[in-house]
Amino acid sequence: MSEPIRVVVTGAAGQIAYSLLYMIAKGDVFGPNQPLILHLLDIPLMMGVLEGVVMELADCAIPLLRGVVPTDDPAVAFKDVSAAFLVGSMPRKQGMERKDLLSANVRIFKVQGEALDKHAKKDVRVLVVGNPANTNALICSKYAPSIPSENFTAMTRLDQNRAQAQIAARLGLPVGNVSNVIIWGNHSSTQYPDASHAVVQTDGKQLKASDAIKDDNWLRSVFVETVQKRGATVIAARQMSSAMSAAKAAADHMRDWFNGTAPGQFVSMGVVSDGSYGTPKDVVFSFPVSIKNGKWEIVQGLTIDDFSRKMLDATGKELEEEKTDAVGIIGA
Protein backbone atom coordinates (compact mmCIF):
# COMPACT_ATOMS: atom_id res chain seq x y z
CA MET A 1 0.00 0.00 0.00
CA SER A 2 1.23 3.50 -0.80
CA GLU A 3 1.26 6.48 1.58
CA PRO A 4 -2.16 8.16 2.06
CA ILE A 5 -2.98 11.08 -0.22
CA ARG A 6 -5.00 14.07 0.94
CA VAL A 7 -8.23 14.80 -0.93
CA VAL A 8 -10.51 17.77 -0.27
CA VAL A 9 -14.25 17.88 -0.89
CA THR A 10 -15.90 21.29 -0.46
CA GLY A 11 -19.58 21.60 0.29
CA ALA A 12 -18.99 18.46 2.33
CA ALA A 13 -22.21 18.83 4.32
CA GLY A 14 -24.32 19.09 1.15
CA GLN A 15 -26.28 16.74 -1.08
CA ILE A 16 -23.68 15.79 -3.69
CA ALA A 17 -20.97 15.27 -1.09
CA TYR A 18 -23.25 12.90 0.81
CA SER A 19 -22.98 10.41 -2.08
CA LEU A 20 -19.49 11.39 -3.24
CA LEU A 21 -17.64 10.96 0.04
CA TYR A 22 -18.55 7.29 0.27
CA MET A 23 -17.44 6.62 -3.32
CA ILE A 24 -14.09 8.31 -2.74
CA ALA A 25 -13.51 6.70 0.65
CA LYS A 26 -14.11 3.16 -0.57
CA GLY A 27 -11.65 3.43 -3.45
CA ASP A 28 -13.88 4.09 -6.49
CA VAL A 29 -11.73 7.05 -7.55
CA PHE A 30 -8.12 6.48 -6.47
CA GLY A 31 -8.25 2.70 -6.46
CA PRO A 32 -8.33 -0.07 -3.88
CA ASN A 33 -4.63 0.31 -2.99
CA GLN A 34 -4.57 4.05 -2.34
CA PRO A 35 -5.29 5.04 1.27
CA LEU A 36 -6.54 8.57 1.79
CA ILE A 37 -7.19 11.35 4.24
CA LEU A 38 -10.36 13.26 3.46
CA HIS A 39 -10.47 17.01 4.10
CA LEU A 40 -14.06 18.24 4.39
CA LEU A 41 -14.75 21.96 3.93
CA ASP A 42 -18.05 23.67 4.56
CA ILE A 43 -19.22 27.01 5.99
CA PRO A 44 -19.34 27.71 9.76
CA LEU A 45 -23.14 27.35 9.86
CA MET A 46 -22.87 23.76 8.62
CA MET A 47 -20.26 22.49 11.09
CA GLY A 48 -22.90 20.65 13.15
CA VAL A 49 -24.24 18.82 10.09
CA LEU A 50 -20.68 18.10 8.98
CA GLU A 51 -19.98 16.47 12.34
CA GLY A 52 -22.78 14.01 11.54
CA VAL A 53 -21.17 13.24 8.17
CA VAL A 54 -17.87 12.61 9.95
CA MET A 55 -19.62 10.19 12.33
CA GLU A 56 -21.16 8.34 9.40
CA LEU A 57 -17.82 8.05 7.61
CA ALA A 58 -16.36 6.49 10.76
CA ASP A 59 -19.35 4.16 10.99
CA CYS A 60 -18.76 3.00 7.39
CA ALA A 61 -15.56 1.33 8.74
CA ILE A 62 -13.63 1.75 5.48
CA PRO A 63 -10.05 0.47 5.77
CA LEU A 64 -8.70 2.82 3.04
CA LEU A 65 -9.88 5.91 4.94
CA ARG A 66 -6.98 6.85 7.22
CA GLY A 67 -8.24 10.20 8.48
CA VAL A 68 -10.94 12.86 8.20
CA VAL A 69 -10.34 16.59 8.68
CA PRO A 70 -13.62 18.57 8.95
CA THR A 71 -13.11 22.34 8.83
CA ASP A 72 -14.53 25.72 7.88
CA ASP A 73 -11.05 27.12 7.19
CA PRO A 74 -9.83 26.96 3.56
CA ALA A 75 -6.20 27.08 4.77
CA VAL A 76 -6.71 23.80 6.62
CA ALA A 77 -8.92 22.27 3.92
CA PHE A 78 -6.48 22.81 1.05
CA LYS A 79 -3.26 21.99 2.95
CA ASP A 80 -1.15 19.50 0.94
CA VAL A 81 -4.07 18.13 -1.08
CA SER A 82 -3.43 16.11 -4.26
CA ALA A 83 -7.03 16.25 -5.50
CA ALA A 84 -9.80 18.80 -4.96
CA PHE A 85 -13.50 18.32 -5.60
CA LEU A 86 -14.94 21.85 -5.49
CA VAL A 87 -18.62 21.20 -4.92
CA GLY A 88 -19.50 23.79 -2.25
CA SER A 89 -21.76 26.52 -3.64
CA MET A 90 -25.42 27.34 -4.01
CA PRO A 91 -27.50 25.06 -6.30
CA ARG A 92 -30.14 26.49 -8.66
CA LYS A 93 -33.86 26.30 -8.09
CA GLN A 94 -36.63 25.70 -10.62
CA GLY A 95 -36.82 28.43 -13.28
CA MET A 96 -33.17 29.54 -12.96
CA GLU A 97 -30.36 29.07 -15.47
CA ARG A 98 -27.03 27.98 -13.99
CA LYS A 99 -25.44 31.30 -14.91
CA ASP A 100 -27.94 33.02 -12.57
CA LEU A 101 -25.77 31.53 -9.80
CA LEU A 102 -22.70 33.47 -10.88
CA SER A 103 -23.22 36.38 -8.51
CA ALA A 104 -23.79 34.04 -5.54
CA ASN A 105 -20.99 31.59 -6.31
CA VAL A 106 -18.09 33.03 -8.27
CA ARG A 107 -16.42 34.74 -5.30
CA ILE A 108 -16.18 31.35 -3.56
CA PHE A 109 -13.95 30.17 -6.40
CA LYS A 110 -11.71 33.23 -6.16
CA VAL A 111 -11.14 32.57 -2.44
CA GLN A 112 -10.59 28.85 -3.04
CA GLY A 113 -8.21 29.53 -5.95
CA GLU A 114 -6.13 31.69 -3.62
CA ALA A 115 -6.19 29.00 -0.91
CA LEU A 116 -5.19 26.28 -3.40
CA ASP A 117 -2.35 28.50 -4.61
CA LYS A 118 -1.01 28.92 -1.07
CA HIS A 119 -1.63 25.54 0.49
CA ALA A 120 -2.19 22.71 -2.02
CA LYS A 121 0.40 20.54 -3.73
CA LYS A 122 1.53 22.17 -6.97
CA ASP A 123 0.35 19.15 -8.96
CA VAL A 124 -3.12 19.15 -7.36
CA ARG A 125 -5.88 18.16 -9.78
CA VAL A 126 -8.97 20.30 -9.36
CA LEU A 127 -12.50 19.44 -10.46
CA VAL A 128 -15.08 22.22 -10.21
CA VAL A 129 -18.64 20.92 -9.80
CA GLY A 130 -20.31 24.03 -8.32
CA ASN A 131 -22.28 25.99 -10.91
CA PRO A 132 -21.74 27.68 -13.23
CA ALA A 133 -18.93 25.14 -13.25
CA ASN A 134 -16.95 26.23 -16.34
CA THR A 135 -16.66 29.88 -15.39
CA ASN A 136 -16.05 29.09 -11.72
CA ALA A 137 -13.17 26.81 -12.79
CA LEU A 138 -11.70 29.58 -14.94
CA ILE A 139 -11.82 32.06 -12.07
CA CYS A 140 -10.36 29.52 -9.65
CA SER A 141 -7.43 28.91 -11.98
CA LYS A 142 -6.79 32.66 -12.43
CA TYR A 143 -6.39 33.06 -8.66
CA ALA A 144 -3.97 30.12 -8.40
CA PRO A 145 -1.16 31.24 -10.72
CA SER A 146 1.44 28.88 -9.19
CA ILE A 147 -0.59 25.82 -10.27
CA PRO A 148 -0.67 24.97 -14.00
CA SER A 149 -3.96 25.99 -15.63
CA GLU A 150 -4.34 22.48 -17.08
CA ASN A 151 -4.86 21.25 -13.50
CA PHE A 152 -8.23 23.06 -13.36
CA THR A 153 -11.22 21.34 -14.92
CA ALA A 154 -15.01 21.67 -14.85
CA MET A 155 -17.48 18.82 -14.74
CA THR A 156 -19.42 17.94 -17.89
CA ARG A 157 -19.19 14.21 -17.18
CA LEU A 158 -22.75 14.15 -15.88
CA ASP A 159 -23.90 15.46 -19.27
CA GLN A 160 -21.79 12.80 -20.98
CA ASN A 161 -23.28 10.07 -18.79
CA ARG A 162 -26.78 11.38 -19.50
CA ALA A 163 -26.08 11.38 -23.24
CA GLN A 164 -24.74 7.82 -23.14
CA ALA A 165 -27.81 6.72 -21.19
CA GLN A 166 -30.17 8.32 -23.74
CA ILE A 167 -28.49 6.55 -26.66
CA ALA A 168 -28.40 3.22 -24.81
CA ALA A 169 -32.11 3.52 -23.98
CA ARG A 170 -32.99 4.40 -27.57
CA LEU A 171 -31.17 1.29 -28.83
CA GLY A 172 -32.18 -0.99 -25.95
CA LEU A 173 -28.49 -1.59 -25.10
CA PRO A 174 -26.66 -1.62 -21.77
CA VAL A 175 -25.15 1.82 -21.16
CA GLY A 176 -21.64 0.33 -21.12
CA ASN A 177 -22.03 -0.50 -24.82
CA VAL A 178 -22.02 3.22 -25.75
CA SER A 179 -18.84 5.31 -25.88
CA ASN A 180 -17.29 8.47 -27.30
CA VAL A 181 -20.35 10.71 -27.02
CA ILE A 182 -19.01 14.26 -26.73
CA ILE A 183 -20.16 17.21 -24.67
CA TRP A 184 -18.86 20.44 -26.17
CA GLY A 185 -18.82 23.82 -24.45
CA ASN A 186 -20.60 25.00 -21.35
CA HIS A 187 -22.34 22.94 -18.66
CA SER A 188 -25.50 24.88 -19.41
CA SER A 189 -28.47 24.68 -21.74
CA THR A 190 -26.22 25.81 -24.64
CA GLN A 191 -23.99 22.73 -24.30
CA TYR A 192 -23.71 20.60 -27.43
CA PRO A 193 -24.18 16.86 -26.82
CA ASP A 194 -22.71 15.39 -30.01
CA ALA A 195 -23.26 11.76 -30.94
CA SER A 196 -21.70 12.01 -34.39
CA HIS A 197 -18.46 10.34 -33.23
CA ALA A 198 -20.11 7.96 -30.76
CA VAL A 199 -19.84 4.20 -31.19
CA VAL A 200 -21.97 1.35 -29.89
CA GLN A 201 -21.34 -2.37 -29.41
CA THR A 202 -24.27 -4.33 -30.69
CA ASP A 203 -24.52 -8.05 -31.59
CA GLY A 204 -20.76 -8.39 -31.10
CA LYS A 205 -20.01 -5.63 -33.63
CA GLN A 206 -18.90 -2.01 -33.27
CA LEU A 207 -21.08 0.48 -35.15
CA LYS A 208 -21.32 4.25 -35.38
CA ALA A 209 -24.16 5.27 -33.05
CA SER A 210 -25.74 7.24 -35.90
CA ASP A 211 -25.75 4.12 -38.14
CA ALA A 212 -27.37 2.10 -35.36
CA ILE A 213 -29.98 4.77 -34.59
CA LYS A 214 -30.70 5.68 -38.24
CA ASP A 215 -32.48 8.90 -37.25
CA ASP A 216 -30.30 11.99 -37.61
CA ASN A 217 -33.27 14.22 -36.93
CA TRP A 218 -33.69 12.64 -33.46
CA LEU A 219 -29.95 12.98 -32.79
CA ARG A 220 -30.05 16.70 -33.62
CA SER A 221 -33.26 17.56 -31.83
CA VAL A 222 -34.80 15.39 -29.11
CA PHE A 223 -31.47 13.88 -28.04
CA VAL A 224 -29.69 17.26 -27.82
CA GLU A 225 -32.56 18.97 -25.98
CA THR A 226 -33.11 16.11 -23.54
CA VAL A 227 -29.48 16.22 -22.43
CA GLN A 228 -29.34 20.03 -22.39
CA LYS A 229 -32.40 20.21 -20.15
CA ARG A 230 -31.90 17.12 -18.01
CA GLY A 231 -30.69 19.04 -14.96
CA ALA A 232 -33.81 21.24 -15.04
CA THR A 233 -36.05 18.20 -15.54
CA VAL A 234 -34.56 16.52 -12.46
CA ILE A 235 -35.04 19.73 -10.44
CA ALA A 236 -38.70 19.91 -11.52
CA ALA A 237 -39.23 16.33 -10.35
CA ARG A 238 -37.13 16.24 -7.17
CA GLN A 239 -37.42 19.91 -6.19
CA MET A 240 -33.67 19.60 -5.66
CA SER A 241 -30.88 19.33 -8.18
CA SER A 242 -29.21 16.09 -9.25
CA ALA A 243 -26.99 14.74 -6.51
CA MET A 244 -26.45 10.96 -6.76
CA SER A 245 -25.73 11.16 -10.49
CA ALA A 246 -23.58 14.27 -10.02
CA ALA A 247 -21.50 12.47 -7.39
CA LYS A 248 -21.07 9.45 -9.70
CA ALA A 249 -19.97 11.75 -12.53
CA ALA A 250 -17.46 13.55 -10.29
CA ALA A 251 -16.01 10.19 -9.29
CA ASP A 252 -15.84 9.09 -12.96
CA HIS A 253 -14.11 12.34 -13.99
CA MET A 254 -11.40 12.20 -11.33
CA ARG A 255 -10.89 8.42 -11.70
CA ASP A 256 -10.24 8.78 -15.42
CA TRP A 257 -7.94 11.76 -14.85
CA PHE A 258 -5.80 9.76 -12.40
CA ASN A 259 -6.04 6.38 -14.18
CA GLY A 260 -6.27 7.32 -17.86
CA THR A 261 -8.64 6.42 -20.68
CA ALA A 262 -8.57 3.22 -22.73
CA PRO A 263 -6.96 3.41 -26.20
CA GLY A 264 -9.42 4.99 -28.67
CA GLN A 265 -11.77 6.07 -25.87
CA PHE A 266 -12.43 9.71 -25.07
CA VAL A 267 -14.29 11.47 -22.28
CA SER A 268 -15.49 15.07 -21.93
CA MET A 269 -14.00 17.57 -19.51
CA GLY A 270 -14.19 21.34 -19.23
CA VAL A 271 -10.60 22.56 -19.68
CA VAL A 272 -8.98 25.92 -20.39
CA SER A 273 -9.40 26.28 -24.15
CA ASP A 274 -6.37 26.61 -26.40
CA GLY A 275 -8.66 27.58 -29.29
CA SER A 276 -8.96 24.03 -30.66
CA TYR A 277 -11.86 23.57 -33.10
CA GLY A 278 -12.17 27.34 -33.53
CA THR A 279 -13.42 27.82 -29.96
CA PRO A 280 -12.67 30.96 -27.95
CA LYS A 281 -9.37 30.79 -26.06
CA ASP A 282 -9.11 31.27 -22.31
CA VAL A 283 -12.56 30.10 -21.35
CA VAL A 284 -13.19 26.69 -19.75
CA PHE A 285 -14.73 24.78 -22.64
CA SER A 286 -15.73 21.12 -22.59
CA PHE A 287 -13.82 19.05 -25.16
CA PRO A 288 -13.33 15.37 -25.85
CA VAL A 289 -10.04 14.41 -24.18
CA SER A 290 -7.90 11.32 -23.92
CA ILE A 291 -5.84 10.87 -20.76
CA LYS A 292 -2.44 9.21 -20.25
CA ASN A 293 -0.07 9.37 -17.28
CA GLY A 294 -2.35 11.82 -15.50
CA LYS A 295 -2.35 14.33 -18.40
CA TRP A 296 -5.32 15.07 -20.61
CA GLU A 297 -5.08 16.00 -24.27
CA ILE A 298 -7.83 17.38 -26.48
CA VAL A 299 -8.73 14.82 -29.15
CA GLN A 300 -7.87 16.49 -32.45
CA GLY A 301 -8.99 15.97 -36.04
CA LEU A 302 -12.70 15.26 -35.53
CA THR A 303 -15.00 16.44 -38.31
CA ILE A 304 -17.15 19.44 -37.45
CA ASP A 305 -20.09 19.82 -39.85
CA ASP A 306 -22.22 22.97 -40.27
CA PHE A 307 -24.69 21.96 -37.57
CA SER A 308 -21.89 21.26 -35.08
CA ARG A 309 -20.15 24.53 -36.00
CA LYS A 310 -23.25 26.54 -35.09
CA MET A 311 -23.64 24.68 -31.81
CA LEU A 312 -19.97 25.15 -30.84
CA ASP A 313 -20.12 28.86 -31.67
CA ALA A 314 -23.27 29.42 -29.58
CA THR A 315 -21.91 27.74 -26.46
CA GLY A 316 -18.51 29.45 -26.90
CA LYS A 317 -20.24 32.83 -27.10
CA GLU A 318 -22.10 32.15 -23.86
CA LEU A 319 -18.83 31.24 -22.13
CA GLU A 320 -17.22 34.50 -23.24
CA GLU A 321 -20.22 36.41 -21.88
CA GLU A 322 -20.09 34.53 -18.57
CA LYS A 323 -16.39 35.29 -18.27
CA THR A 324 -17.06 39.03 -18.73
CA ASP A 325 -19.84 38.88 -16.12
CA ALA A 326 -17.64 36.98 -13.66
CA VAL A 327 -14.80 39.46 -13.97
CA GLY A 328 -17.32 42.27 -13.42
CA ILE A 329 -18.73 40.62 -10.28
CA ILE A 330 -15.32 39.95 -8.77
CA GLY A 331 -14.11 43.46 -9.60
CA ALA A 332 -17.23 45.09 -8.13
Ligand X SMILES: O=C([O-])CC(=O)C(=O)O
Ligand Y SMILES: NC(=O)C1=CN([C@@H]2O[C@H](COP(=O)(O)OP(=O)(O)OC[C@H]3O[C@@H](n4cnc5c(N)ncnc54)[C@H](O)[C@@H]3O)[C@@H](O)[C@H]2O)C=CC1
Q: Which residues participate in catalysis according to the annotation?
A: 187
88 lies in the binding site for ligand Y (CB under 6 A)? yes
**Selected range binding ligand Y among 23-31, 57-65, 81-89, 289-297, rule: CB under 6 A:** 81-89
89 makes contact, choosing from ligand Y, ligand X, none, with CB < 5 to 8 Å by partner type, with ligand Y
Q: How many CB atoms lie within 10 A of CB 236?
A: 11
228 lies in the binding site for ligand Y (CB under 6 A)? no
- Closest CB 203 distance from ligand Y, rounded Å: 33
The residue (of 61 and 237) whose beta carbon lies closer to ligand Y is 237
The residue (of 11 and 91) whose beta carbon lies closer to ligand X is 91
234 lies in the binding site for ligand X (CB under 6 A)? yes
234 makes contact, choosing from ligand Y, ligand X, none, with CB < 5 to 8 Å by partner type, with ligand X
The residue (of 8 and 128) whose beta carbon lies closer to ligand X is 128
92 lies in the binding site for ligand X (CB under 6 A)? yes
The residue (of 74 and 91) whose beta carbon lies closer to ligand X is 91
The residue (of 29 and 133) whose beta carbon lies closer to ligand Y is 133
Tell me the per-residue interface mask from 38 to 77 with ligand Y, x by CB under 6 A, - otherwise: ---xxx--x-------------------------------
43 makes contact, choosing from ligand Y, ligand X, none, with CB < 5 to 8 Å by partner type, with ligand Y
CB 273 within 8 A of CB 281: yes
98 lies in the binding site for ligand X (CB under 6 A)? yes
- Closest CB 100 distance from ligand X, rounded Å: 10
Which residue, among 163, 306, 287, has the nearest Cα to 222 in the 3D structure?
163
- Closest CB 166 distance from ligand Y, rounded Å: 16
Tell me the per-residue interface mask from 147 to 176 with ligand X, x by CB under 6 A, - otherwise: -----------x------------------
270 makes contact, choosing from ligand X, ligand Y, none, with CB < 5 to 8 Å by partner type, with none
Q: What is the CA radius of gyration of the chain?
A: 19
For the chain, give the secondary structure using H, E and C.
CCCCEEEEEECCCCHHHHHHHHHHHCCCCCCCCCCEEEEEECCHHHHHHHHHHHHHHHHCCCCCEEEEEEECCHHHHCCCCCEEEECCCCCCCCCCCHHHHHHHHHHHHHHHHHHHHHHCCCCCEEEECCCCHHHHHHHHHHCCCCCCHHHEEECCHHHHHHHHHHHHHHHCCCHHHEECCEEEECCCCCCEEECCCCEEEECCEEEEHHHHHCCHHHHHCHHHHHHHHHHHHHHHHHCCCCCHHHHHHHHHHHHHHHHCCCCCCCEEEEEECCCHHHCCCCCEEEEEEEEECCEEEECCCCCCCHHHHHHHHHHHHHHHHHHHHHHHHHHC
Name the residues that contact ligand X, by CB under 6 A.
91-92, 98, 131, 158, 231-232, 234-235, 241-242
Instruction: Summarize as ranges the residues that interact with ligand Y (CB under 6 A).
Output: 10-11, 13-16, 41-43, 46, 87-92, 108, 129-131, 133, 155, 158, 187, 241-243, 246
